[in-house]
Amino acid sequence: METLFEHAGITSAKEKKKRIVEYVDAVTEKEWRGFDSFEDGKSWDDFVKELKDLDPEAVVNVGQVSYLDRICREHTQLSQSNVAEIHSLIRKFKGEAKLLSKVLHNSTLVNKFMQCFTPTFANVIEDKLLSKYGHFKDAARNRHEDEQYGLAEVITVVTALVGRKSLHSDRIISGDIETVGTKESLKKE
Domain boundaries, the chain: 2-61, 72-163
Q: Which of 162, 79, 68, 157 is nearest to 109 (CA)?
A: 68
Q: Which of 86, 98, 107, 73 is nearest to 157 (CA)?
A: 86
Q: What is the pLDDT of residue 178?
A: 38
pLDDT digit string, tens, across residues 3-35 = 778 878 888 999 999 888 887 777 788 888 999
pLDDT of 57 reads 59
Interatomic CA distance for residues 160 and 128, integer angstroms: 10
| Residue 83: band (very low, low, confident or very high) from pLDDT cuts 50, 70, 90 | very high
Per-residue pLDDT, averaged over 95-120, amounts to 90
Band of the pLDDT at 54, cuts 50, 70, 90?
confident
Check residue 139 and give its pLDDT. Answer: 61
Residue 69 has pLDDT above 70, yes or no: yes
What would the pLDDT profile of 153-167 be if each residue is shown by its tens digit? 999 999 999 985 433
Q: What is the CA radius of gyration of the chain?
A: 20
Per-residue confidence (pLDDT) for residue 179, from 0 to 100: 40
Say if CB 71 and CB 82 are below 8 A apart. no
**Torsions phi, psi of 91, nearest 5?**
-60, -50
